[in-house]
Amino acid sequence: MLDIAAQREELAALDRAETLPARQQPDWPDDGSLEEARATLASLPPLVFAGEADALREKLAAAARGEAFLLQGGDCAETFEGATADKIKDRVKTILQMAVILTYGASLPVVKMGRMAGQFAKPRSRDAETRGDVTLPAFRGEIVNGYEFTAESRRADPRRLVQAYHTSASTLNLIRAFTEGGFADLREVHRWNQGFARNPANARYEEMAQEIDRAVRFMAACGADFEDLRRVDFYVGHEGLLFDYERPLTRIDSRTGQPYDTSAHFLWIGERTRGLDEAHIAFFSRLRNPIGVKIGPTTTPDDVLALIDRLDPDREPGRLTLITRMGAGRIREALPPLLEAVKASGAQPLWVTDPMHGNGLTTATGYKTRRFDEIMDEVRGFFEAHAQAGTIPGGIHVELTGDDVTECLGGVEQIDEGDLGTRYESLCDPRLNHRQSLELAFLVAEELKRLHRD
């Protein structure tokens, strides 16, 4: 337990970290509204309990040892309007369905985590957006400004920080109700998957669905307690980007005297904000939550070793997750040297693949999209690189929704460029739709099956 003076010093260190150069922060108005929003956030209850973050750290440690597998999924950018019962339910349902498929493939527990209940802030490639002859500030996520292309909507409004908190609170409340109240019943989730696999278009996945069915019947015959399998642990995480949201929600844990960011169980630092001498690394390195960092294709072995030293100096199991997002065309060359260097250093972070962010493309008609086959190719490259290095492929991080959107190309529905306009709803990056997400899960399960057979 840290004593009171040490606790004060921890909080002061976080305040100092915030003052270091920080990328991707909004241009808030200078009228006192930011201070007001921060004070409001600081007075509101935490969204998660520090003990839950500790439990997650232990599960991530198991995944890093190859004894579990992490599934992280959800919107690129959550929206306030999208926090409806149906949309939250369908996203949770999609993640639960994927988790059952992956659990079977890996024969391991799957740690379930939504990019949900806080995934509102977006780093952007450009600070401004031009349409015709009008240039306005870029959309930075609904926690900062509005998507509508008007000067009024694009102005950063600190009151949105508080709205993001309340939207996260109601989202998390429903997630907890669903996952603890019986919605996650294994037999029910399995029935949803059977419905998917019975569709003739999905025949490729029928065999594995039948194998899972036999496994569930086998469990039943052995007297498995399905009542016990009606609830699951479900965690939430988001990119830790805005200090004006994360700092007021960082609290001293009454059990240990240590600081936890109570906006989520897990926070990750984005590819654009992981500068070693900058604010994000300094801030998040001081938190007790399990932390992630995105690693892009230009990352050198020295960069990764330095990130490990900063974010996990004590080499604590489960503390650090490295989320690689290399691009399908780069991963087979870019990842192995990093795996070798980290292995040689003796560190054992959790390695997770994000096969989305290195595979973006923009169509001639202006849609940001990704090809399903390239996404899957990056996943395969991730498994291959780990097999080659003798390290552990510990999880997958995807942008998805439970809705039937048309944002990513391909999959069994064979969404093509002409279809993108049918239902393109993302305010930032393209997400796998419900069917593409399940398809991905079946294909990743095949990789996991191969890995655990060999």
Ligand X SMILES: O=C[C@H](O)[C@H](O)COP(=O)(O)O
Ligand Y SMILES: C=C(OP(=O)(O)O)C(=O)O
Site residues, Mn ion (CB under 5 A): 76, 429
Residue 264 has a CB neighbour count (10 Å cut-off) of: 29
- Residue 26 binds ligand Y (CB under 6 A): no
Q: Per the annotation, does 222 bind a ligand?
A: no
CA distance linking residue 105 with residue 208, whole number of Å: 9
Q: Does 238 bind ligand Y (CB under 6 A)?
A: no
Give the total residue count for the chain.
454
Secondary structure class of 396 (helix, strand, coil): strand
Taking the complex as a whole, the smallest distance from the CB of residue 445 to ligand X amounts, in Å, to 26
Q: Which does 124 bind (CB under 5 to 8 A by kind): ligand X, Mn ion, ligand Y, none?
A: ligand X
The residue range among 33-41, 83-91, 164-172, 266-274 that interacts with ligand Y, by the rule CB under 6 A, is: 266-274
Could you tell me how many residues of this chain bind ligand X (CB under 6 A)?
8
Stretch (H or E) spanning 73? strand 69-74
Q: Is there a contact between 201 and 83 (Cβ–Cβ < 8 Å)?
A: no
Between strands 110-114 and 128-131, the pairing is: unpaired
With CB under 5 to 8 Å by kind, the binding choice for 125 among Mn ion, ligand Y, ligand X, none is: ligand X
Of 53 and 77, nearer to ligand X (C-beta) is 77
Q: Residue 398: helix, strand or coil by DSSP?
A: strand
The secondary structure of residue 161, as a DSSP letter, is H
429 in a labelled binding site? yes
Residue nearest to ligand Y (CB): 270
Q: Is 368 annotated as a binding residue?
A: no
Question: Which among 451, 445, 447, 450 has a CA at the least distance from the CA of 102?
Answer: 445
Task: Specify which residues 362 forms β-bridges with.
Answer: 368
By the rule CB under 6 A, 275 interacts with ligand Y: no
Identified binder of ligand Y from the candidate list 280, 357, 380, 434, rule CB under 6 A: 357
Per-residue contact flags (x/-) with ligand Y for residues 107 to 126, judged by CB under 6 A: ----------------x---
CB of 78 to ligand Y, least distance (A): 11
Residues 354 and 369: their CA atoms lie apart, in Å, by 15
Q: In sequence order, which residues have a C-beta less than 8 Å from that of residue 30 and are 6 or more positions away? A: none
Both tokens assigned to 293: 């960092």
> Binding residue for ligand X (CB under 6 A) from 109, 123, 317, 337?
123
Interface region with ligand X, contact rule CB under 6 A, candidates 94-102, 117-125, 280-288, 380-388: 117-125
Structure token pair of residue 278: 């900058």
Q: Which of 374, 407, 429, 447 binds ligand X (CB under 6 A)?
A: 429
Cβ-contact 415, 409 below 8 angstroms: yes
Pick between residue 239 and residue 253 the one whose CB is nearest to ligand X.
Answer: 239
Least separation in angstroms between residue 137's CB and ligand Y is 18
Q: Is 115 a known ligand-binding residue?
A: yes
- CA 4 – CA 190 distance, rounded (Å): 50
Spell out the residues 6+ positions from residue 381 whose beta carbon is closer than 8 angstroms to its own: 326, 328, 331, 332, 335
230 is in an annotated binding site: no
Q: Which residue lies nearer to ligand X by CB, 139 or 442?
A: 139
User: Which listed residue (124, 251, 315, 332) binds ligand X by CB under 6 A?
Assistant: 124
Residue nearest to ligand X (CB): 125
Q: What's the rounded Cα separation, in Å, for the pair 73 and 339?
A: 24
The position carrying tokens 């780093």 is 123
Whole-number minimum distance, CB 239 to ligand Y, in Å? 6
Site string for ligand X, 369-408 (x = CB under 6 A): ----------------------------------------
Write the DSSP symbol of residue 143: T
- Tokens for 125? 């490639």
Q: Under the criterion CB under 6 A, does residue 352 sit at the interface with ligand Y?
A: no
How close are the terminal C-alpha atoms of the chain, in Å? 45
Provide the β-strand partners of residue 235.
113
* 408 labeled part of a ligand binding site: no
Residues 57-96 that bind ligand X (CB under 6 A): 76
Structure tokens at 365: 């008609």
Bind-site residues for Mn(2+): 76, 357, 399, 429
List contacts with ligand Y (CB under 6 A): 76, 123, 239, 270-272, 294, 325, 357
Bind-site residues: 76, 115, 271-272, 294, 325, 357, 399, 429
